[in-house]
Structure 1
Amino acid sequence: MKIKFIILLFASVWLALLVRVFFLAVESNSYYSRLSQQNTIKHEKIAPVRGEIVDTKNRPIAINKLGFKVQLAPHLLTKKYKNEFEEEVAILTKLLPSLDKEKIIKNYKKKDSFYNHNFIDVVQFIPYEEMMPVYSVLNLRKNMKIVSAPKRYYPYKNIAAHMIGYVARANQKDIDRNQVLDLIGYTGKTGIEKYYNDYLQGNPGEREIKVNANNQEIEQLSYKSPQEDRKLTLSMDIELQKYISSLFLGRVGAFVVMKVDGSILAAGSFPNYDLNIFVNGMSYKMYNKLSSSLDHPFTNKLTHGLYPPGSSIKPLLGLLYITTKLNERWSVDCRSNLRIANRTFRCWKAKGHRHTDIVKAIRESCDDYFYEGSLILGNEAMSKGLKRYGFGEKTGVDMPNEFIGVVPSRLWKLRKYNRSWNIGETANMSIGQGDFLVTPLQIARETALVATGKLVTPHFAKYIGDEPYKVKYKDVLTQKEKRKLPIIRKAMYQVCNSPHGTATNYLSSKVTISGKTGTAQVIGIKQDIEKRKLEHELSYYNRSHAWFTTYGPSKKPQYIVTVMVEHGGHGGHAAGKIVSDIYNKLLELGYIKKR
């Protein structure tokens, strides 16, 4: 019995050993094979080159400046390799005196760890011309890698700065959103650079390499090219952009030149800044100076500037009037003073406009007509109609974080302030004042609605790679509004061409245009003031914002030109010459053909 037990025990042990040997030799083979590959085969990501941005005539607006970054091998801070690390840093600073030794050491220490086996970036960018004389010397050193690293450059510096935007170092929040940025290091922060960042940055490639125990490359096993150099072509004309920017010297505000299909030829926000300072980095002193300016140079006023529209809103509000409770024959007797509740509402013309219908009300910008019309129509109908026309919503332009503005209403005020609406606010809203706020791009879009009968989506992109940007329209007008639209167009024509038009005396355009001026107050006028101060008599920051929005040529509209000058005073006076010069330039450049 004992012999049988010993034989069984012996057989069991050998069976267990055989099973274990089988598991280690056969079943675990794939596991240890993968483990071995991890020790000998590395997957190295290849950063893509950011795509260029060009204008409509293929002139480069945002390009990549050729340069290099310097990397050092990991684990050089250990006692064994400490001398090698100090030698590499000494060689670098000797051959490239512009480099900061302390910064190199700091960058290395930040990334070096026992678990990191990749080369570490110690210098992010060295210009091509500075690196080339010493490239061959540095590239031969075993602990050093010289890697191509293009840097974003904006050849036109401050021209269209807010529209183009800039790239800068990616922060942790950016990297969490897009893991590719951990490899690339830079991302679009504002403007077109941000909106189209994922397209422009491309996708990384990958290299599979075999390395030895010392992490030295032995063989390249595979190579996948990065998706890079993705080109973005804009509808913007940089020559036109430069010219209009020169017209805004010393002014604060915004402008847009847009085809009636929504393609933007030029757009600007002022004051602006050199985009390259964000790529290269700026001093705290410069940043504080820009950020504390009362003119807000960091704000893209085209899409983020919120302003009362003033009289620029009257054409569309007039269309709403004559297609709902009123008609084109309805008129008022403007005496310059209208009593509503316990408040006097004044027209801008001291003696009044007397008998005024819709055409005269827009041509001469009669406030009284719109006051009285608003009391008949009511706030709810006004708000609903203006929202249908596109106010209080994003235009859909290909720019990040666009503001929607405010179309005030009873419900809006109740939710925001927990207060009831009063009739005086309805009258204020009818002349584009009070809580009514718009962006300059919204005004341009609404002008296009009058010119074409369609609500377009503004856009900067012309081609995304080889794919043309798809033009988008919305049909928002009723059949009755479409039939009555010629009345509004007639009034806007007279604004710019009739002897009594508010813009006529300020225009020198060789193109026949239609439009609407606007003067948007930034401070209220006290009830006991009998005679208003003239705009030039007010202190600068108390002057009204000046609007002038137009389309041309009048008979066959092709372009929308909208100009807003902060604290410019009267719209025609402040913006009339700028608008005229823009149309004359469009004629000179061949965008508008001579008749």
Structure 2
Amino acid sequence: MKIKFILFMFIATWLSLLVRVFLLSVESNTYYEKLSYNNTIKIEQIAPVRGEIVDINNRPIAINELGFKIQLAPHLGLKKNLHIFESEINMLVKLLPKLDKEKIISDYKKIDSYYNHNFIDIVEFVSYEDIMPVYSILNLRENINIVSSPKRYYPYNEVGAHAIGYVARANKSDVLDDELKKLIGYTGKTGVEKYYNEYLQGLAGKREIKVNANNQEVEELSSEKATEDGKLILNMDIELQKYISTLFENKSGAVIVMGVDGAILSAGSFPEYDLNTFVNGISNDVWDKLSNSLEKPFSNKLIHGLYPPGSVIKTGLGLIYITSPEVGPYWGVNCTASLALGTRVFRCWKKDGHGSVDIKKAVRESCDDFFYKGSLQLGIKKMSDGLIRYGLGRKTGVDLPNEFIGTVPSSEWKRKKYNKPWYIGETVNTSIGQGDFLVTPMQIARYTALMAVGKLPRPHFASVLGDKAIEPEYEDVLSEGELSKLPIIQNAMYEVCNSPGGTAVNYIKSKVKIAGKTGTAQVVGILQDIKNRELEHEMEYYTRSHAWFTSYGPFDNPQYVVLAMVEHGGHGGAATGEIVSNIYNKLLELGYIKASE
């Protein structure tokens, strides 16, 4: 019995060994073959070159400056190699005196380790002009690697900064989003650079190479080119943009020049800042100066600036009034310069009142009393619903990142936001674009296009993306009744700029016949017991009203919307009329509008 047991254990042991040998030699062959392959074959990704951005006339506004990246071999930071490390660094700094020696050493030591076998980036960018005289010397050194590395460059510096945007180093959250950003190292941070980042950055290529035990390349097995250089053509005219920047010197605010189809020819948020400052990283001093400025140069006021619209909403609200059964096209008021409501008195801007007022006069002369009394007839729900339908209080869909929505106040909105009741005085305040009413300049530009042609366009900077032209998109938001009454509002807007009593007529010097609406949006309330208002130019700067003027032209053949908003500019027409006039004259000079029009 013992012999049988011993024999059984002997056979079982040998069978187990044979099975294990079989698994190691046959079944695991695929695994070890793959492991061996990975130890000798390396996949190297090729970073694509970012596509350029050009204006409507093919003038470059975001390009790639030719340059090089310098890399250093790994493991030179080890004690036994320190003399080599110091020698290479000293040689580099001697040949390229602009380099920061301490930063190079610090950057290298952060990455260097026993486990890293790849060359380490120590200088992100050296210009073509700087490196060419020493290229042959550096290229012969086995511990130094010179790699082509273009850098983003903005030839017009600060012009159109908020629309164009900039690229900067990709951070951890950027890389989580997209592994390609880790390879490239840079990504679009703002403006169209960010909105169209995926298209502009392209797709990585790859090389399959054989390496030896020292991780040195022996042979290239295959290569796949990167998909790159995707050009983005904008509707923007950079010459017009430069001109508008001069008009806004020492002013804060926003300007938009947009086709009635939504194509944006120019858009500026002021003050601007030099985009090139951000490509390699901004200094703390410059950052503090810009971020602490009361004029908020970092804020893209086109889509992030939230302002009370003031009287510019009277055109759309007027259309809602004259197409509603509660008011109608023939309704009028006798403006006596004030409306008593409970314990409050709501004043018209004109101290002596406007007398008998119909819709055309109300828009032309911006009579507050007409809109106060009309709001009491119509009610806040119909006012709010109509204005939201016209494009306020919602995103325009413009091709810029993180657009703000703004606020068209209503009883429902207040209940949701504050859990408080709505008061009739808030309805009256809303009727002249004050109170909690907040809009962006982009919303008002789009809303003005609706007044001009009866359709609500989607604003867009891009003209051609790759080989695809960007087609106009519209929303049909007006009813048949509103479309039939729209000419009443259009004629009233014409009279604002061209007829006696028009709030803009004394400030418009345009060679193009235009229609428009001024707005003076208060930023501080006026106490009830003050009967004689302080003049805007006598007020402290930051208590002055924001000045709006939104327009379209030519009147008989609407082609462009021109909007200007000057922060703390005071009276809408006085602060913005000359700016808007000069822009139309420039459009005429550049051929966008024909002289006969």
Fold match (TM-score > 0.5) = yes
Please tell me the residue identity of whatever aligns with 1:360. Answer: K
Q: Is the 8 A contact 2:562 2:580 kept in 1?
A: yes
TM-score by length of 1: 0.98
Structure 1 residue 593: deviation in Å?
Answer: 1.1
Alignment partner of 1:221: what SS? strand
Distance in 1 (CA, whole Å) between partners of 2:210 and 2:575 is 69
Distance in 2 (CA, whole Å) between partners of 1:406 and 1:441 is 14
Q: What are the residue-to-residue correspondences of 1:188-587 with 2, within 5 Å?
A: 188-324=188-324, 325-587=326-588
Alignment partner of 1:405: what SS? coil
Structure 1 residue 61: deviation in Å?
Answer: 0.3
Structure 1 residue 198: deviation in Å?
Answer: 1.2
Q: Is the 8 A contact 2:42 2:208 kept in 1?
A: yes
Structure 1 residue 419: deviation in Å?
Answer: 2.1
Please tell me the residue identity of whatever aligns with 1:543. Answer: R
Distance in 2 (CA, whole Å) between partners of 1:536 and 1:159 is 29
Deviation sequence 1:38-68 (CA, Å, 0-9, x none): 1111111111111110000110000011111
Deviation sequence 1:116-145 (CA, Å, 0-9, x none): 221111111111111111111111211211
Distance in 1 (CA, whole Å) between partners of 2:74 and 2:317 is 68
Alignment partner of 2:80: what SS? coil
Deviation sequence 1:528-559 (CA, Å, 0-9, x none): 11111111111111111111000101011000
Please tell me the residue identity of whatever aligns with 2:441. Answer: P
Distance in 1 (CA, whole Å) between partners of 2:496 and 2:215 is 76
Deviation sequence 1:68-113 (CA, Å, 0-9, x none): 1111122222233332222221221121111122111111111122
Alignment partner of 1:551: what SS? strand
Q: Is the 8 A contact 2:510 2:582 kept in 1?
A: yes
Distance in 2 (CA, whole Å) between partners of 1:330 and 1:420 is 30
Aligned twin of 2:159 = 159
Alignment partner of 1:490: what SS? helix
Q: Is the 8 A contact 2:536 2:544 kept in 1?
A: yes
Alignment partner of 1:255: what SS? strand
Distance in 1 (CA, whole Å) between partners of 2:494 and 2:356 is 20
Distance in 1 (CA, whole Å) between partners of 2:532 and 2:6 is 122
Distance in 1 (CA, whole Å) between partners of 2:73 and 2:528 is 76
Q: Structure 2: any 5+ residue segments left out of the alignment?
A: none
Larger mean Cα displacement after TM superposition, 279-288 or 188-197: 279-288
Alignment partner of 2:509: what SS? coil
Distance in 2 (CA, whole Å) between partners of 1:17 and 1:419 is 82
Please tell me the residue identity of whatever aligns with 1:474. Answer: E
Q: Is the 8 A contact 2:254 2:564 kept in 1?
A: yes
Aligned twin of 1:111 = 111
Please tell me the residue identity of whatever aligns with 2:212. Answer: N
Deviation sequence 1:473-518 (CA, Å, 0-9, x none): 1111111111111111110111111122111111111111001011
Distance 1:550 1:25, change over 3 A: same
Alignment partner of 2:302: what SS? helix
Please tell me the residue identity of whatever aligns with 1:127. Answer: S
Please tell me the residue identity of whatever aligns with 1:49. Answer: V
Please tell me the residue identity of whatever aligns with 1:350. Answer: K
Please tell me the residue identity of whatever aligns with 1:189. Answer: K
Structure 1 residue 318: deviation in Å?
Answer: 0.3
Structure 1 residue 34: deviation in Å?
Answer: 0.7
Please tell me the residue identity of whatever aligns with 1:356. Answer: V
Aligned twin of 2:57 = 57
Distance in 2 (CA, whole Å) between partners of 1:122 and 1:206 is 23
Distance in 2 (CA, whole Å) between partners of 1:120 and 1:385 is 60
Please tell me the residue identity of whatever aligns with 1:470. Answer: E
Structure 1 residue 23: deviation in Å?
Answer: 2.6
Aligned twin of 1:147 = 147
Q: Is the 8 A contact 2:104 2:123 kept in 1?
A: yes
Deviation sequence 1:303-362 (CA, Å, 0-9, x none): 110110011000000000011121111000001011111111111111111000000000
TM-score by length of 2: 0.97
Please tell me the residue identity of whatever aligns with 2:318. Answer: G
Identity of aligned residues (%): 67
Please tell me the residue identity of whatever aligns with 1:593. Answer: K
Distance in 2 (CA, whole Å) between partners of 1:8 and 1:575 is 104
Structure 1 residue 12: deviation in Å?
Answer: 5.0
Distance in 2 (CA, whole Å) between partners of 1:371 and 1:65 is 58
Alignment partner of 2:303: what SS? helix
Please tell me the residue identity of whatever aligns with 1:51. Answer: G
Q: Is the 8 A contact 2:169 2:280 kept in 1?
A: no
Q: Is the 8 A contact 2:257 2:562 kept in 1?
A: yes
Q: Is the 8 A contact 2:63 2:154 kept in 1?
A: yes
Alignment partner of 2:32: what SS? helix
Aligned twin of 2:76 = 76
Distance 1:21 1:364, change over 3 A: same
Distance in 1 (CA, whole Å) between partners of 2:524 and 2:13 is 97
Distance in 1 (CA, whole Å) between partners of 2:102 and 2:241 is 43
Please tell me the residue identity of whatever aligns with 1:583. Answer: Y
Q: What are the residue-to-residue correspondences of 1:159-198 with 2, within 5 Å?
A: 159-198=159-198
Figure out how many residues of one structure are paired with residues of the other and give that number. Answer: 595
Q: What are the residue-to-residue correspondences of 1:1-80 with 2, within 5 Å?
A: 12-80=12-80
Structure 1 residue 464: deviation in Å?
Answer: 0.8
Structure 1 residue 10: deviation in Å?
Answer: 5.8
Aligned twin of 2:120 = 120
Q: Is the 8 A contact 2:41 2:210 kept in 1?
A: yes
Structure 1 residue 6: deviation in Å?
Answer: 7.0
Distance in 2 (CA, whole Å) between partners of 1:417 and 1:479 is 37
Distance in 2 (CA, whole Å) between partners of 1:27 and 1:222 is 29
Distance in 2 (CA, whole Å) between partners of 1:279 and 1:144 is 25
Distance in 2 (CA, whole Å) between partners of 1:347 and 1:313 is 16
Q: Structure 1: any 5+ residue segments left out of the alignment?
A: none
Alignment partner of 2:340: what SS? strand
Structure 1 residue 28: deviation in Å?
Answer: 1.6
Alignment partner of 2:220: what SS? strand
Alignment partner of 1:158: what SS? coil
Larger mean Cα displacement after TM superposition, 16-25 or 579-588: 16-25
Alignment partner of 1:302: what SS? coil
Q: Is the 8 A contact 2:321 2:328 kept in 1?
A: yes
Distance in 2 (CA, whole Å) between partners of 1:250 and 1:551 is 26
